[in-house]
Structure 1
Amino acid sequence: MSGSNVPPASSGATAGIASVTLLGMTAMGIALPILPQRLNGDLGYSLTIVGWIIGLESIATLLSRPWCGHLTDRRGGRFAAIAGLIAMIFCGLTYLASDFLMDYGAAGRQAAASLIVLGRIFMGIGEGLVISGTGLWAVDRAGPDRVGRAVSWVGLGLFAGLALGSAFGAWLDHGQPGGFALACAISTIIPLLGTGAALVIRPGTAARVHDSAPVAPLLSVILLPGLGLFANACGFAAITSFLALDYRAHGWAALPLGSAGVGIAGFGVGHVTARLLFSDLSDHVRSRWPVVTCLLVEALGLCMIWLAPTPLMALSGAVVTGFGFSMGYPLLTLPVLAAVPVVRRGMAFALFDAFFDTGAGFAALCSGTVAHYLSLPRVFLIAALVSLAGIIPLLMVPAMRWRRETPEG
């Protein structure tokens, strides 16, 4: 059984696994404030196309989820996480190569765009492997009484990495010659460091029996919480895909408050703050209402960005959105893990995370259309409405699923 002969991890081991997540997501975050400008401002693509290219990462993650789940269950979380970090290294290399082609006329710019698309695919696969891998790795090592804390810490590493990476990427690319290339080079080095960190932390024990059971029974227990996660992801996607362009449309560019990277980092600050305050909550909660509250707070923050007349209010909205978004994932995993056998947790994580990918990809694609035909601020209004709609399926999850007993078969 997964984790059956591995003693529960110390807090240091769990923090180490979270640090692997942090390094991978920092590499991902560096590109968030600079890619929309590169695609829209430098390459001249419309906001709709920008949304498609940004959302392509989530599509790649979604399509690779079943394979990621099988790999994680068979080879263990650490193996999957390292494979994901290697994919992120290739992503950074493709971004870096695209920058060198920008000076070679129209053909060079077209080739650069193609490489960025390829990089988004690499990053999508890498993201899926790192998140599923480190999630199962941490849960494997934590033991049944600390599952919620393990998921919370991995999520803390995930969004702390996004926040750090976004702020760092914006600073590197802020009007500096060669800033994009420098950001891409650093985003290649960081997952290499994560690989080294992963190799020194003991793995959990993978379930070695090949599991060919159908996924339909898993989907049946994941569906309703997954729809809540879908809604939860829309606010995240709206901010990471279009906050930078919203800032530019308002003419907010001056550091410190006017930088889009600071706005995205504000989302990360709100997320990290909530995780630090409530990291143990998911091990004690026995009802749906905390996660319902999370969606309400996320919607409030998105509405603040929609109505923001100043960068300070937009930053405040991003912080509130991150705070509300933060605990959604660990709280929503509870009714899922309550009904999933231990040997299928890797696949369960992969399928559950697929709802996040679908929500993020859907929001990025639709946000591009909304921004093109309506206005950029209304992207955040639509995301807020979707967050509120996510409450409905959570009200349909049987109450006893929140008062869970994790199966061991």
Structure 2
Amino acid sequence: MQTAQNAGVSLSKVRATIAEFVAFTFIGYFTIGLALAVLPYFIYHDLGFSTMTAGVVISLQYITTFLFRGYAGSIVDKQGPKPAVMMGMIGFAVSGALLVIAYICKGFPALSLSLLVITRLSTGFAEGMIGASPINWAILAVGDEHTSKAISYNGIGSYGALAVGAPLGAILHHNFGMSAMAGLIMVCGITGYYYAKGKTPLKSTSTAPRQPFMDVFKIVTPFGICLALGGLGFGTISTFITLYYSQLGWQGAVMCLSTFSISFILGRLFFEDYINRYGGMKTAIFCLLTEAIGLAILWQAYSPHIALAGACIAGFGFSLVFPALGVEAVKLVPASNKGAALGGYGVFIDLSLGITGPLVGLVESTFGMAHIFMFSMVMVFTGFIIAVLINNWQRKGEMTLR
């Protein structure tokens, strides 16, 4: 077990220390949010490609995120989180520069789309490098006993950033063009790089032998599968909500995404202690069921107001899924593999968001836009069933430290 750098200090000091590192997550996901509400519309309306193409291009980001999660975890365990965070910020800056060029080339749709593909891959690399790195940096600073708090606050940073970034990106695109939004992404990446460069590097002092990444990955896989199914709800909302609203002739698609994110944040702020109080698995079971209910409401919504209510319930449900399952997964690995465990566990949310675009796009093209939230509801409910099974296995002692 690591010793907190500032052990014994007040809870407010712990929160402030965690916030210093969660800031990196906020910067990264703010840049992701800036593009999130703009690119599907740009690909579909400005470049003239299909909904399926828009979904695939948006989801390409998660391929490189998936590939670099494990690499980032290895860097964190061997060198500390600082190098991984700095590389991630460089990736965001590069993605902003490429996005500017893609916008300039919009008169040549094939070329612009090709540049967008490279942009999404660069963004995915950046997200993979910062995904679990700020969490590990925070845990190294405040101690293992605050793991759930660090994971929870990191999620607040990511979804809070999406809630702010998505509408701001849409505003910048509407008033100044996509180049203004892309320029802001560049500035955020450069700012994050220099902020990370000035922070004190921290590294685990655990002497426990490190396990191979694939061994760690196998341990966290049951929890990760459950997380991936839960993530399909968020992936469907974030990728398709603008097109969903557009087809129905509704206004306020960005507000739906922001409502999801705000509800998510409030769930993390006010109910994070429930993980320690009731256990990670019980919390995850409740949250996945709640998320499925919210998606069912979105599926059946006959007005934007009902859709907002569904997004709110789904956001609240999804709020504690990642930390609740993450705490249970990390318990099963040595301290020397914590970075790899969080990185490997995080792979599943990247996988989830990565397949959401093409998978839900296929559902839309086959059955129609009206069925996308029915599909995601079924997937999240499947995650709920798996969480119940994992909880039963744990109670019978069938899942132990290997």
TM-score scaled by structure 2?
Answer: 0.91
Shift of 1:301: 1.4
Shift of 1:135: 1.6
Higher mean C-alpha displacement, 185-194 vs 121-130:
185-194
Where does 1:81-160 land on structure 2 (aligned, <5 Å)? 81-103=85-107, 108-160=108-160
- Tell me the equivalent position of 2:241: 243
1:64 aligned to 2:89?
no
The Cα offsets for residues 329-382 of structure 1, whole Å up to 9 and x where unpaired, read as: 000012211111111111111111111111111222111111122222311111
What is the aligned counterpart of 2:331 among 331, 335, 338? 338
- Tell me the equivalent position of 1:16: 20
- Tell me the equivalent position of 1:173: 173
Shift of 1:213: 3.8
The one-letter code sitting in structure 1 at the alignment partner of 2:52 is: T
Shift of 1:324: 0.8
Counterpart Cα distance in 1 of 2:302 and 2:223: 35
Counterpart Cα distance in 2 of 1:408 and 1:13: 30
Counterpart Cα distance in 2 of 1:211 and 1:190: 38
What is the aligned counterpart of 2:53 among 35, 49, 52? 49
Contact 1:77–1:136 (8 Å) recurs in 2: yes
Counterpart Cα distance in 2 of 1:408 and 1:388: 28
Change (3 A) 1:64 1:306: same
1:355 aligned to 2:359?
no
1:218 aligned to 2:216?
yes
Contact 1:137–1:204 (8 Å) recurs in 2: yes
1:20 counterpart SS class: helix
Where does 1:302-313 land on structure 2 (aligned, <5 Å)? 302-313=295-306
Counterpart Cα distance in 1 of 2:82 and 2:116: 28
- CA-based RMSD of the aligned residues comes to 2.5
Change (3 A) 1:393 1:219: farther
The one-letter code sitting in structure 2 at the alignment partner of 1:63 is: L
The one-letter code sitting in structure 2 at the alignment partner of 1:321 is: A
The one-letter code sitting in structure 1 at the alignment partner of 2:145 is: D
- Tell me the equivalent position of 1:6: 5
Counterpart Cα distance in 2 of 1:207 and 1:382: 45
The Cα offsets for residues 37-84 of structure 1, whole Å up to 9 and x where unpaired, read as: 111111111111112111111122112222222122222122212211
1:286 aligned to 2:279?
yes
The Cα offsets for residues 119-152 of structure 1, whole Å up to 9 and x where unpaired, read as: 1001111111112211211222221221111111
Higher mean C-alpha displacement, 198-207 vs 157-166:
198-207
1:390 counterpart SS class: helix
Shift of 1:4: 4.7
Contact 2:295–2:314 (8 Å) recurs in 1: yes
Change (3 A) 1:194 1:396: same
Shift of 1:408: 12
1:389 aligned to 2:382?
yes
Change (3 A) 1:24 1:210: farther
The one-letter code sitting in structure 1 at the alignment partner of 2:227 is: L
Contact 1:24–1:85 (8 Å) recurs in 2: yes
Contact 1:242–1:376 (8 Å) recurs in 2: no
Contact 1:17–1:201 (8 Å) recurs in 2: no
Counterpart Cα distance in 1 of 2:238 and 2:386: 25
Contact 2:332–2:401 (8 Å) recurs in 1: no
State the identity %.
26
Counterpart Cα distance in 2 of 1:320 and 1:68: 33
Contact 1:227–1:390 (8 Å) recurs in 2: yes
Unaligned stretches of 5+ residues in structure 2:
8-12
Counterpart Cα distance in 2 of 1:140 and 1:272: 24
What is the aligned counterpart of 1:30 among 34, 44, 48? 34
Contact 1:232–1:390 (8 Å) recurs in 2: yes
The Cα offsets for residues 170-195 of structure 1, whole Å up to 9 and x where unpaired, read as: 22223x3x421111111221232223
The one-letter code sitting in structure 2 at the alignment partner of 1:79 is: P
Contact 2:76–2:84 (8 Å) recurs in 1: yes
What is the aligned counterpart of 1:74 among 72, 78, 92? 78
TM-score scaled by structure 1?
Answer: 0.90
What is the aligned counterpart of 1:375 among 368, 372, 376? 368
Contact 1:335–1:401 (8 Å) recurs in 2: no
Contact 2:210–2:336 (8 Å) recurs in 1: no
Contact 2:27–2:161 (8 Å) recurs in 1: yes
Change (3 A) 1:402 1:247: farther
Shift of 1:209: 8.5
The Cα offsets for residues 273-298 of structure 1, whole Å up to 9 and x where unpaired, read as: 11111133333332522211111111
1:272 aligned to 2:265?
yes
Counterpart Cα distance in 1 of 2:301 and 2:114: 35
Contact 1:240–1:264 (8 Å) recurs in 2: yes
Counterpart Cα distance in 2 of 1:408 and 1:80: 28
Unaligned stretches of 5+ residues in structure 1:
253-257
